[in-house]
Amino acid sequence: MRWLGSSTVTEVVSRIKMPAPPKKMLDIGGSHGLYCVEFCRKYPALKATVLDWPIGLENAKITLTQEKDVAPQIDLFECDFENDDLPPEKYDFVFLGNIIHGLNEDANQVLFKKIANATASNSTIAILDQYSNVKGSPFVKGVASLIGWNLFLFAGGRAYDFDLVKKWLENHGFGSVALTHLSRSPGFSVITARKK
């Protein structure tokens, strides 16, 4: 994931538009924490939290020893996001990188409810993942289908349909749902939405 993250992070950070510079970011299942690092570089007033199991946070600790300029902006929160509550804070930016494909529909909706409770009006959620039914060139569609099959066969997960994720978001108070395909990482896309 560190290798994959380091190849997508620059484009992800540059393509996600915020209504205002975010102040508090929660990176759910953030592992290596590379997304927190780059968002903190882009927004120097941002405080970011990497949330993960202890094994994931070990990765984040390595990153923080390497990225000393932004390390003071980033903290770590040990949590099982399926079984525990999220931190008792309000965030104005929540990032989910390669998380929803590993959860079933019910678990995703439970997580979205927790995120809705942890965010204030006008907050941004960004969901980097691989989606089915993507529009785009035959190459982009082919890569997305292959990734979906791989997730299903080898990782017990699935690539969700954009319209389904949009429905989950709208059910939990998010609007302005938009899909952006990464041009440098075909098959990967980011869904963004704004809390109403």
Return d(Cα 60, Cα 4) in angstroms, integer.
15
Please select the residue that binds ligand SAM; options are 16, 22, 30, 127, rule is CB under 6 A.
30
Please select the residue that binds ligand SAM; options are 45, 65, 80, 154, rule is CB under 6 A.
80
| Interacting span for ligand SAM (CB under 6 A) from 76-84, 115-123, 160-168, 178-186 | 76-84
Asked if 183 contacts 11 with a C-beta cutoff of 8 angstroms, the reply is yes
| Interacting span for ligand SAM (CB under 6 A) from 48-56, 64-72, 117-125, 182-190 | 48-56
| Interacting span for ligand SAM (CB under 6 A) from 79-87, 119-127, 138-146, 188-196 | 79-87
Residue 33 lies near ligand SAM (rule: CB under 6 A): no
CB of 138 to ligand SAM, least distance (A): 26
Instruction: Considering the complex, state which of residue 27 and residue 137 has its C-beta at the smaller distance from ligand SAM.
Output: 27
Please select the residue that binds ligand SAM; options are 16, 25, 26, 31, rule is CB under 6 A.
31
| Interacting span for ligand SAM (CB under 6 A) from 17-25, 28-36, 158-166, 170-178 | 28-36
